[in-house]
Structure formats: C-alpha cells, structure tokens
Chain A
C-alpha cells in the first residue's frame, strides 16, 4: 500500500522552540494519526503546514491523490491546494464558526462542496443535505435553519457533515471536541469513529486530550517545544510511554 501523505523534515519556526521542527512520518489510507502535547508545543503549526495552509521553512509534504499521482504539496500552486482542501481533503476547525458559513442554512453549508464539484441539481443537493444531517444525527427538519440557531455540539456535527459530503480521503481536525460539553463530546467521538471506519478515512487530529486520542487515534506523535519526542502505537504510548516528557504527560492526567 502506498502512503497517502508523506512528511519529511518538516520545519516551520516562528521563534526558538516555537512551531515545529524536523517532523517526518507516513500516513496510510484509513489511518488515524493523533498529535498530542500541551499548548504551545507546535501541534497546530504542524497541522497548518501539513494541510498546506502555511509554507514550511524546510522539508516537504507529498500527497498521493485519488488518481495515484504523488504531488509535492508546497511545490504545487495555491489554487491546487485550495482545491484539495475542498475536494479530497477536509479540515474541521476547533471553532465551528470558523468552518461553517453562519449566514446560510444548514443545507446550503452541506451542499457547498458538492456545488463546487459541479453538482447543480437542486433535488440532489437537497437530498445530500437531508442524508448528511441524519448521518450526523441532526434532525433533517432543521435543514433550512441557520447554523447560529444550533447548539455548539450540533454546529460541530454540521461542520463534519459539510466536510464529509464530498467523500474526502483525508481529514484534518484541530481539537474537534475542544469547546464541547463532556456529554456532547462522547457522542461526537462515537460518530467520528464510525465514520472513520465506514469511509476508510485517513485523519490527522490535533488534541491535548489524551482520552480523545486513545479513542480515535491509531498512533500518536507526542510534541514538546516544537519537536516530536516520541511516536508509536496509541495504546503503547499511553500505557508504556518511553520518553520522560511522555511519562510526565500521561501521569499528569487525572483519572476520574
């Protein structure tokens, strides 16, 4: 099997120890990679560089597209990267207000990617909206409502539906459960797990919540001061961490 995303020596610094340095990994189809570490460790910078939103100082990211062509992400044009993010990729923002269009209906939010891909038939867009609202467990009758009338958890689920409607192969997520109540988090995590399995999605997820990482990620990278200090199978990192910092991180979590 060919890697979907390959990062080599990826570096982007905006201060000493701020950003990410020398990050390398391969991500395969259907694989969920969690990036953990405390605030300021460089997780979000790394996600931005990986998704092509920010240019690296050094290093490369290559992506194997749906046709099997390997593309150097940062050598390609800005337009190409934008197209990827609307088609074969998805990006779920921590704050759903940054990832949704708040001024248009839930249905229009879901239909946008399909329209960008050339779907013009109103009935089909409408049906996709209804189907995806049901998939993310929002009452389809709310299809004409504006996202601002939704709760935080519903907005986050709507953002996920909006991203997944185009059947992306790779999804980036930045603290997707960060601003949610605990009861809503559990529901969202279960939903994400099922979608990842059913759609064979590859995911890069940034989280500081180790419980979220354990539930969703196949493997983890632990970041500290811009560097990856340890990487491996999720349960091995959490149950038998090797690096001093990973041990501190894992042992600092309160067990309810």
Chain B
C-alpha cells in the first residue's frame, strides 16, 4: 500500500459548517509481511486513518494506492464496486465492535467472509468452528445470535470472522481491547501467522505490550490543534 498526501477533513453542515481537519498530508508505504502500528493520543485521528484507508470515510485529498489482484488500484476515486471487490479479496478490517444482523447465529456471522469469496458452506463451517474454539467461544453459543453475548465474546466473534480468510492487507482497530490475557495471546498468534503468510498490517492498540508484540514500525499521527477545540 502506498499513501501520498492523504488528508481528511469533516465539514459539519448541521453544526454551523464547522470544519475539522483530522489528517493532513500523510505519506507512508506498507510492505508485505510488516506491521505498522499507529501512535498518537486519543483523538489524534488513528481510527479516522484506518476508516479512510478502508473507504469508509471519503479522503479530502491525496492518494491511497493498493495492490489488488496484481495491479495497483487508486482507492481514493474508485467505484463502489471496486472498493467492495477490494474488501472481499484484499483488504480486511477488524473493528472494535461487531455489527451484525439481528437473529443471525454466531457461526453464520463468522462464516460470512468465506461464503462471500465463494468457499463452500461445509468448508466455511469447519474453519469457523476451529476459530471459535480457538478463541474460547463455547459450542453451545454457536447457534445463538451474538447480540446477546458479552462485549468480550462479541469481540472474539468479530476476530474469528476477520481471520476466516487470508487478507493481503489488514487494518486492526484495537483488536484486543476487551480481551483477557489468554485471548489476547490467541489474537497475537493469529496476527503473527497472518504476517508470516505475507499479510501487511496497520494496527492501533492502547496496550503497550500488544503494540510491542505486533509492531515492525511505528507511524506517528499528530493532532491538528484547531481541529480539537472541544
């Protein structure tokens, strides 16, 4: 991934047209098999950067080029269907929170990224079962909808879902935030395996030990002072 001059501003029409400048002229490269950890205090724009890279936020300027199916694709002005293809096959995103359809069972939630790539139901079910077991989600919960699970359980379901398929590039936003030490180690193992397979990672973590365990390099995100008048 190659990022050049990336900026992100928010223009809040409903709040007297306030302009928030969050990211300004960011440059970096990300190579296969390395993990870049974002540093900066709360509100500096670390999550905003991940969301912008994922196409969830619209960049205000600059370029995000990503190797997708062998060619470099400019994400900043890509069509929705190109971004969706990138998200199916190349770019994974692990958020802190699980967003699911009510009443869809945990096992089905986890299987979905594999099914979206055309993996058979049988194979997807097997892989999902392995991941859920590894992350300590008891089998009796698998048929149940995760909306009733605890925060930590939901996060582990989310992690299982994210590691169902191999992603050439992964964005991790606090993947271990509400996990106990044992589960955090499982996540770090999964991250290590992904790196060994050649995945490139960009991660945010508040936990010093987790950052140290993942990072090959650090990128400092600094706050644009006027943007944080609140």
User: Do A and B interact?
Assistant: yes
Which B residues are in CB contact (< 8 Å) with A251?
14
**Given A244-B13, A244-B14: A190 in contact with B56 (beta carbons within 8 A):** no
State A244–B102 Cα separation when bound (angstroms).
Answer: 30
Q: Given that A186-B103, A190-B104 are contacting pairs, would A247 and B12 also be in contact in the complex, using a CB cutoff of 8 Å? A: yes
B175 within 8 Å of A by Cβ? no
Q: Are B58 and A218 in contact (CB under 8 A)?
A: no
Residues of the B chain whose Cβ atoms lie less than 8 Å from the Cβ of A190: 101, 103-104
A-side contacts of B12, CB under 8 Å:
247
Q: Which of the residues B10, B14, B55 comes within 8 Å of A233, measured between beta carbons?
A: B55
Complex alpha-carbon distance, A3 and B80, angstroms:
14
- Which of B13, B57, B102, B116 contacts A248, CB < 8 Å? B13
Asked if A197 CB lies within 8 Å of chain B CBs, one says yes
Cα of A210 to Cα of B101 in the assembled complex, Å? 14
Interface mask (B1-36 → A, CB under 8 Å = 1, otherwise 0): 000000000111110000000000000000000000
**Binary flags per residue of B84-117, CB closer than 8 Å to A gives 1, else 0:** 1000000000000000011110000000000110
Does B83 reach chain A (CB closer than 8 Å)? Answer: yes
Tell me which residues from 199 to 256 in chain A have a Cβ below 8 Å from any Cβ of chain B: 215, 218-219, 232-236, 239-240, 242-244, 247-248, 251
- In the complex, the chain A residue whose C-beta lies closest to that of B102 is A186
B140 adjacent to chain A (CB < 8 Å): no
**A218→B84 contact, CB < 8 A:** yes
* Closest Cβ–Cβ distance, residue A86 to chain B (whole Å): 28
Q: Which residues of B contact A239 (CB under 8 A)?
A: 51, 56-57
Within 8 A of A (CB), among B71-91: 80-81, 83-84
**Chain A residues within 8 Å of chain B by Cβ, number:** 25
- Determine if A232 and B58 form an interchain contact, defined as CB atoms under 8 angstroms apart: yes
One of A197, A215, A235, A240 near B101 (C-beta < 8 A): A215
Q: Mark B151-192, 1 if CB is under 8 A from A, else 0.
A: 000000000000000000000000000000000000000000
Q: Contact between A242 and B58 (Cβ–Cβ < 8 Å)?
A: yes
**Assembled-state Cα–Cα distance A150/B79 (Å):** 42
Cα-based distance from A83 to B229 in the complex (angstroms): 61
Which residues from chain A contact B55 at a C-beta distance below 8 Å? 233, 236
* Cα–Cα, bound, A85→B56 (Å): 35
In A108-136, the 8 Å CB interface with B consists of none
Q: Smallest distance from the beta carbon of B183 to chain A beta carbons, Å?
A: 27
- Which chain B residue shows the least CB distance to A232? B80
Of the candidates B57, B81, B101, which one forms a contact with A186 in the assembled complex, judged by CB atoms under 8 Å apart? B101
What residues on A are CB-neighbors of B80 within 8 Å?
218-219, 232-234
Complex CA–CA separation, A108 to B17 (angstroms):
57
Supply 13 further A-B pairs (C-beta < 8 A) apart from A218-B81, A233-B80.
Answer: A186-B101, A190-B101, A190-B103, A190-B104, A218-B80, A219-B81, A232-B58, A233-B55, A233-B84, A236-B55, A236-B57, A236-B58, A243-B13
Q: Could you name 28 residue pairs across A and B whose Cβ atoms are closer than 8 Å?
A: A28-B81, A31-B81, A183-B103, A186-B102, A187-B103, A189-B101, A190-B101, A190-B103, A190-B104, A197-B115, A218-B81, A219-B81, A232-B58, A232-B80, A233-B55, A233-B80, A233-B83, A233-B84, A234-B80, A236-B55, A236-B57, A239-B51, A239-B57, A240-B10, A240-B56, A243-B13, A244-B13, A247-B14
- Seen from chain B, the residues whose Cβ lies within 8 Å of a Cβ on chain A are 10-14, 51, 55-58, 80-81, 83-84, 101-104, 115-116
